[in-house]
Structure formats: C-alpha cells, structure tokens
Homo-oligomer: A and B are copies of this chain.
Amino acid sequence: MSSQDSESISPHELRDAWPVLSLEERVESFKLVPHATADVFFLSLPAKEQAELILALPTGERRTWMRLLAPDDAVDVVQEANAEAKAALLAELDSTTRHEVMALLAYAEDEAGGLMNPRFARVRPDMTSDEAIRYLRQQTRQKGETVHEVYVLDAQQHLLGVVSLSQLFQAPPGMPISEFMVTKVFTVTEETDQEAVGRLFSRLGLMAIPVVDAENRMKGIITVDDIVQVMQEEATEDIQKVGGMEALDAPYFSVGFVAMLRKRAGWLLVLFLGEMLTATAMGHFEHEIARAVVLSLFIPLIISSGGNSGSQATTLIIRSLALSEVRLRDWWRVARREVVTGLLLGAILGGVGLCRVVVWQYLFQSYGEHFFRVALTVGMSLVGVVLWGTLTGAMLPFALRRAGFDPASASAPFVATLVDVSGLVIYFTVASLILRGALL
C-alpha cells in the first residue's frame, strides 16, 4: 500500500485492501484514516463489518461510531452482534436513540418495520410554508435528522399529506401547507414484506415511503437507499437458488470453506438422489438397450433438451413472479401459452434432431438399416420431452408459490432432474411404438 503521507491511509486505499485484511489489520488501518474522512468510510461498510469493527475497538472509542449511525442503521449493526455484545452496543447510544432502536429490534428483519427510520420531518397542516421552513430548521438542528420529504400530521399523528422540500421552497411564503400538500400518499404498513416494498420503490420511483399502522398513524419512513441494499440481496438469493444452491447470504470469500461446502453439497445430494431414479428407469429399459444399442446414443441429447427447455421456462416464470409481472391467478394463461411454445420449440429441436440422424447415416452409415425409424424416434421424442419440460418448468414455480414455498426454489437443476426421469420414459415409450418389429 503506498501513500503520500506514510502515517495516514486514504479511504480509497483502505477500501481496496479491506476485503483481504484480518480484523486486527482492519482496526489498525482504520485508525490511520484521517478523522475527517473516516466517517464516510465507516458509513459505507456493510452492517456486519461495522459491528465487527466497533466491537474490536477499545470501549472508549465505540461511542463515536455508534452515535454516527441513524436509528435504522444502528438496528442493523446491533442485530449482527451476539447477545452479550448487543447490550454493550446499545449502551453506547443516547437514551432516545436506544429506545427507538430497541423498538425497531422487535420487527422482523425482512418486514417494512425492520427497515424503517422512526425519525422524519413532520409539520402541521395549518403552518405556512415560511413557518414550516423555520420549524424544520429548528427541528433538524436539534435532532440531526435527514430531510427527504416533509410529512403533514394531525395532532394524533395521522398522516394527512406530504410535501417535498422543493414544493415547500416554491410555495408563496404565507400559504398554509394544507393548500398545496399532496394528499394522495403511497404508504406501507409495518408488516409489509421487504420485497413488496422494493417493488413499490422501483415501480413508483420514490425517494422515501411512509410506514403507517392500521389507523393511518405514521410510524416512520423507509428511504430508498436502504431498499437498494435489500433489493441486491433478494436478487442474489434468487440467482443462487435458480443456479441450484442454498442462498449464501454473504460474499464468496467471506463464507467459510466448510459452510460453503455444506450449502452446496446439500442441494447436490438432493438432486443426485432424485437423479438416481434415472438409473432405476434405465434398468427397466435394459432389455431394449441390449437389443438396440443405437437407442442409448441419444439418451444424453434427449434428456438434456428436456432439462434445458425446463430451466428456461422456470427461470422466466420465477422472475416474472418475483417482479409481480405474473400473478398466481395467471397460471392458466401461462399454461396455455407455454403449451403452444413448448410444442413449437419441440418441433424445431425435433426437426433438427431428425435431420442429424439422417445426415449422419448418409455420411457415415452410423445407424444401420432402420435408420429412418431411429430418426423418427429421436424427432418425436424431442417434441414430447421439450413440451413436457417447458410445461413442468413453467408450472412448478406456481405450484411452489401456491404451497407457500419460494418459487425461486424451482431451480434450473431441480427442474432438469425432474424432467430427466420422465424424459427417459417418454423416449423409450416412443421407441417401443416406432421400432416395434424393426429393432425391438
């Protein structure tokens, strides 16, 4: 690490080196960052690393960093610590924030309540814009909160409307807020799932969204910067599940070797046990294979085509469900569309497969006198297998969602395994129909 001043480290240098440093090295390097920029660096760390860092600092230095955090971020940090350390971290907060943080800790981490900041700018509807600006200056000076939008509440904390700072700035100085506030406000409740909150932000392009209780009393706000991290996490989880493993919940190099092995071996074993059924199924067709070895040559081609078309369909539907582009009740519309799609995709691959066999026969005489029946078997099987794979892949996420599971568990490898066994049955059934009397 080079530095102009050998005694200090720039935040950029530290950020580059950070992932590979041990906890001791992190603490040492962190102390060398000039104080003026250390807080920018500290605030940019994930909650887990903030917690580790604070707990590794001498007791006297912890307070500064805990108090730098907004209540909702302090909650995340406290949640990362074990029971004993939790108490120690809470003790560093001033008593108002401590009460707020303890109230927030009661919410589930993945609900709106667990994301919200109980501090927000509030005004009364009968204030003028001038009064409101003066009042906000005072309010923020005392509490040090960040102003995104200003919420208009009555004396019972009911949410009446919202004004942006620009609207406040633009309004004639003497105009009461009730005359220009926006009364149509999108809200969520404390129990709204964080994925739903994320969708709302992304669809409406909001900067902050108020959290209200059942009586429309305002509890706090969720700001878009918190939801951005949530959305990245949710997308990563979905991608990892689609690829056929348990969600990791942490960066690649941060997951211990054994933990990683366990997460990956688990799913692989489940898939392997499922795939064992192919050996059983194949056992039933051993006699046919012995009589017509040529049949075995196309087994990988045929079952993988079912798997591929199934992965494709399942991935498409999983993501559409996650983004609410497709809803549970649309399953029948999707099924009809996928049947037609599957038939056409199957016809395309089947046609290519049939040609492949015929051409190879003319070039290399690979498949004996009954080559055309073999070609027909391959082609017809592909239509059936691709249709079946597409339909299974498309319907499985609906079935999982209906049964209360995460549709993303219908991973590409899971669907492929499911389709492999039925693909073999389809292939050998078609073969016995077409090749009876010829090869079989």
Q: A-side interface residues toward B, CB under 8 Å?
A: 11, 19, 36-37, 40, 43-44, 133, 136-137, 140-141, 144-148, 164-166, 169-170, 182, 184, 198, 201-207, 223-229, 231-232, 235-236, 238-240, 242-245, 248, 251-254, 257, 260-261, 264-265, 267-269, 271-273, 275-276, 278-279, 282-283, 286, 289-290, 293-294, 296-301, 303-305, 307-309, 311-312, 314-320, 323, 325-326, 330, 333-334, 337, 340-341, 344-345, 348-349, 352-353, 356, 366, 386, 412-413, 416-417, 420, 424
**In the complex the two chains form, what is the Cα distance from A239 to B315 in whole Å?**
7
Q: Given A299-B300, A304-B420, A413-B312, A319 and B224 touching (CB < 8 A)?
A: no
A52 to chain B minimum Cβ distance, whole angstroms, is 17
Is B297's CB under 8 angstroms from A275's CB? no
What are the residues of chain B within 8 A of A286 when measuring CB–CB?
Answer: 293-294, 296-297
- Closest residue on chain B to residue A367 by CB atoms: B283
One of B165, B223, B257, B297 near A207 (C-beta < 8 A): B223
One of B203, B244, B299, B316 near A44 (C-beta < 8 A): B203
One of B244, B271, B300, B318 near A282 (C-beta < 8 A): B300
A308 to chain B minimum Cβ distance, whole angstroms, is 4
What are the residues of chain B within 8 A of A278 when measuring CB–CB?
Answer: 300-301, 304
Q: Given A297-B282, A298-B279, A228 and B227 touching (CB < 8 A)?
A: yes
Is B315's CB under 8 angstroms from A240's CB? yes
Question: Told that A145-B166, A275-B305 touch, could you supply 14 new A-B pairs with CB distance under 8 A?
Answer: A43-B204, A44-B204, A147-B164, A201-B228, A244-B308, A244-B312, A245-B315, A251-B320, A268-B305, A275-B308, A286-B293, A289-B289, A289-B293, A413-B416
**In the complex the two chains form, what is the Cα distance from A224 to B227 in whole Å?**
10
Q: Given A243-B314, A272-B305, A289 and B300 touching (CB < 8 A)?
A: no
**In the complex the two chains form, what is the Cα distance from A308 to B311 in whole Å?**
12
**In the complex the two chains form, what is the Cα distance from A26 to B390 in whole Å?**
33
A364 to chain B minimum Cβ distance, whole angstroms, is 8
* Dominant secondary structure of chain A at its interface with chain B: helix
**In the complex the two chains form, what is the Cα distance from A116 to B176 in whole Å?**
34
Is B207's CB under 8 angstroms from A309's CB? no
What are the residues of chain B within 8 A of A238 when measuring CB–CB?
Answer: 235, 239
What are the residues of chain B within 8 A of A298 when measuring CB–CB?
Answer: 279, 282
What are the residues of chain B within 8 A of A261 when measuring CB–CB?
Answer: 341, 344-345
- Closest residue on chain B to residue A145 by CB atoms: B166
Q: List 16 A-B contacts (CB under 8 A).
A: A148-B207, A206-B225, A207-B224, A227-B228, A235-B239, A238-B239, A240-B315, A240-B316, A243-B318, A253-B333, A272-B301, A293-B293, A303-B304, A308-B416, A311-B412, A412-B413
Q: Given A232-B231, A315-B239, A317-B252, A201 and B225 touching (CB < 8 A)?
A: yes
Is A268's CB under 8 angstroms from B140's CB? no
A236 to chain B minimum Cβ distance, whole angstroms, is 5
**In the complex the two chains form, what is the Cα distance from A244 to B140 in whole Å?**
51
Is B300's CB under 8 angstroms from A424's CB? yes
Is A265's CB under 8 angstroms from B228's CB? no
**In the complex the two chains form, what is the Cα distance from A386 to B205 in whole Å?**
45
What are the residues of chain B within 8 A of A353 when measuring CB–CB?
Answer: 272
Is B301's CB under 8 angstroms from A299's CB? no
What are the residues of chain B within 8 A of A252 when measuring CB–CB?
Answer: 316-317, 320, 325-326, 334
What are the residues of chain B within 8 A of A169 when measuring CB–CB?
Answer: 136-137, 140-141, 147
Is A166's CB under 8 angstroms from B184's CB? no
